[in-house]
Amino acid sequence: MEQYYHREHLPRFGDIAEGNSGLADAFFAYYNKVFEDGALTAREKALIALAVAHTVQCPYCIDAYTTDVLEKGGDLAQMTEAVHVACAIRGGASLVHGIQMLDQAKRLAM
């Protein structure tokens, strides 16, 4: 059975420039700038990226940022906590939209 996700695609991310090198260059310049040390350390940014990767369910990003966090001195406990933060936010966002459902149900019941 063939898979949709292929690990060998991740190291080829830069190949996307074949379609439009100007846009790819601009994106990668921005992307690299974002992950430099700033108000947040590069490790903190990698933990945020790992949490977001789980939220958007990107297996490429999960692999890349798991590696990146570990290379930047992070550990499994930090990564697991970041994933739980993402889970809590995603779950809370789903629940708060229940208020929209509750309001609509009350409007229709009247």
Confidence of residue 36 (pLDDT cuts 50, 70, 90): very high
* The pLDDT of residue 109 is above 90: yes
Please give the angle made by the CA atoms of 11, 51 and 47, to the nearest 5 degrees. Answer: 75
Over residues 6-12, the mean pLDDT reads 91
* The pLDDT of residue 54 is above 90: yes
pLDDT tens-place string over residues 38-49: 999 999 999 999
* The pLDDT of residue 5 is above 90: no
For 28-48, give the DSSP string.
Answer: HHHHHHHTSSSSS-HHHHHHH
